[in-house]
Amino acid sequence: MSTVTLTFENAIAFITINNPPINATSHSVREGLVNALDQIDANNDIRAAILICEGKTFIAGADVSEFGQPPKAPILPDVIKRLEAATKPVIAAIHGHALGGGLEVALGCHYRIADSAAKLGLPEVNLGLIPGAGGTIRLPRLVSISEAVSMITSGKPISANKANAIGLLDAIAHGALRDAARDFAQTILDRETPIPLVDRDPVNTPNATEWDDITASAKKKARGQTAPLAAISAIRTGIEQGADTGLAFEREKFIKLRDSEQSKALRHIFFAERSVAKLPELKGIKPNPIRHVGVIGGGIMGAGIATASLLAGYAVTIIERDEDACANGRATVEKHLSGSLKRGLINQDRFDALMAALSTSIDYAALADADLVVEAVFEDMAVKHDVFGKLSKHCKPNAVLASNTSYLDINEIAANCVNPNRVIGLHFFSPAHIMKLLEVVRTETADAKSLVTAFEFARALGKIAVPCGVCDGFIGNRIMSAYRKHCEYMLEDGALPHQIDAAMVEFGFPMGLFAMQDMAGLEISWATRKRLAPFRNPSERYVALGDYLCEMGRFGKKNGLGWYRYDENGKAQPDPEVDALVIAESEKKGITRRDFTHAEIMNVILGAMRDVGDKILSEGIATNAEAIDVVMVNGYGFPRHKGGPMFMTSSSN
């Protein structure tokens, strides 16, 4: 079947793309578009054309199978120029997503109409690229520079309503898109074909100072990523030197970025996120249906899991120890959902429906019909055994029972549970309703049905699910424990907390290790250290500075004192008292302190990550190196444009 077909309705031609699943701009699509335009131009009975797509979406990106292949004519920039040169006006009829090259194709059309639920965007920066088919040149000639810069440098799609408000669309379709596009075409049959965007003036032209401000703002947000700044350079070149020069400049930058290490890293993590949960042994196994989710514990983590489950469309029951705790759990969920309401992510009707789908109870019998239950209580094995004993008694036999433990042995939990084959780990990251990462922990007894159900649950929650085996800390926390230990060694050897954090931020982390600990609460890792103390090798180097801070009542940002001192606005400042404590510990141990450069600090941290990553792979805890990179990027702030610690190792060899 042809990927592009041409049909006629009176004076209107319909160019239809059917290249599932995303109607990508493959070679056959590009060639088909050119052929269709040639036929339309040669047909004197046709006065307008509508470009529309079959399936769930408009053109939503490039054909990934062509990545790294030599370009095959006609290339997309030439196809878009051919669209602009059409002698009959072409209307892009957009539904689903118009992304990347898809939006660039729409910009090459003379008019754009979209379904009200459509999303439009230029997400190339997420792959370390800039638009390569005229997006940086045409978009600023249709919308303001500020809107164009925002769309291109953030990579975030915008809604059809927003696109219409800023001038990107000519109309919003009310009713069936095909009918609305046909009706719109009827209104422009007697008009002259609009001049192409490349022949128009920019909507506005910033002065030199404004360009400096735009660049400085983008640089701050980019945190070392080069594509956003290259995009601004391309936009500015197109405005100041004209469209032809701008198009050539954009293409040159696009090709250079495509071959860069950053783009390779971003493409690596992009594909890894989409493949990491595809386990061959689970292929063809259907998940259990999920309608009702139970959550044990309504604290910060439990309430976050409950919120995420509600937003995914499930009925949720929170089990707590008493009615006051139930009320607190419900209030926390309501606070989370109120935030979504204020940000416009849900409307009032949806908010009311979600709150109605939430129930609380102190009786485990309320989970009799639950399809999946997530335990999120205190990290104590005795408490976990008590919870799973009650779940075994009250839940139906095929209900999947999951623990959100960060460190405890889920094999031990499962061994003491009725039907241990349905016990797994679901390690959420805080805040659970926001963070995308979810470690799906496979116990020794977990069956395929339970695992497939867990992955389907993760998909419904919008999470990136990473399978892993059972060990202390699984993938992420095990690696973090290792590099935290080496950071603590550096404290005793001569570095200060703010120096290590500064090196990490310079490398591309959103915040440093010690600032992150302060945000999470120092008592959490303190409890883990105390739990593991009886098993610690006496000959192993141990740094007690974190223990001292907790003993001093310094638990982090929550009480204004941790590794840092926090002002009334929550802003962190290095604390001379902590620095003195660190230096005194070195003196007490007879360690001669030395200076560390940022490069030396990062070499230590990355080395620790890689060493533990190699052990995790050799032990079979992670299915592949990509899984480790996905965890570190999505759960621990490892800079996406560097691909992850394992990618950095392989790419440097």
Kind and range of the H or E run holding 95: none
Contact 32, 23 (CB under 8 A): no
Contact 496, 488 (CB under 8 A): no
d(Cα 388, Cα 401) in Å, to the nearest integer? 8
**Rg value, the chain, Cα:** 28
- Given 84, 104, 147, 492, the catalytic residue: 104
Beta strands 4-9 and 12-17 are: antiparallel
Is-catalytic flag, 320?
no
Q: What length does the chain have?
A: 653
3-state secondary structure of 115: strand
d(Cα 387, Cα 394) in Å, to the nearest integer? 11
Burial of 178 by CB count in 10 Å (0-12 exposed, 13-18 middle, 19+ buried)? middle
Contact 250, 152 (CB under 8 A): no
- Given 31, 54, 66, 124, the catalytic residue: 124
What are φ and ψ of residue 221, in 5° steps? Answer: -75, -30
Angle (CA) 373-375-376 rounded to 5° is 140
3-state secondary structure of 242: coil
What are φ and ψ of residue 465, in 5° steps? Answer: -90, 125
Contact 203, 144 (CB under 8 A): yes
First to last CA, the chain: 44
- Indicate the DSSP class of residue 5: E
Buried/exposed code over 245-280 (b: 16+ C-beta within 10 A; e: otherwise): ebbebbbebbeebbebbbbbbbbbbbebbeebbebe
Is-catalytic flag, 334?
no
d(Cα 131, Cα 220) in Å, to the nearest integer? 21
d(Cα 397, Cα 359) in Å, to the nearest integer? 22
Q: What is the DSSP string of 456-473?
A: HHHHHTT-EEEEE--STT
Contact 635, 475 (CB under 8 A): no
Number of alpha helices (DSSP H) and beta strands (DSSP E) in the chain: 26, 19
d(Cα 650, Cα 653) in Å, to the nearest integer? 5
Longest CA pairwise span in the chain (Å): 92
Contact 317, 366 (CB under 8 A): yes
d(Cα 192, Cα 354) in Å, to the nearest integer? 51
Among 427, 428, 400, smallest CA distance to 414 is for 400
Sign of the CA dihedral with 411 first, then 413, 417, and 419 last: negative
Structure tokens at 587: 């003196």
| Whole-number Cα distances in Å, 633 to 59, 98, 209, 275, 517 | 28, 27, 35, 15, 17
d(Cα 120, Cα 106) in Å, to the nearest integer? 10
Contact 544, 579 (CB under 8 A): no
Beta bridge partners of residue 375, listed in sequence order: 296, 403
Q: Which residues are catalytic?
A: 104, 124
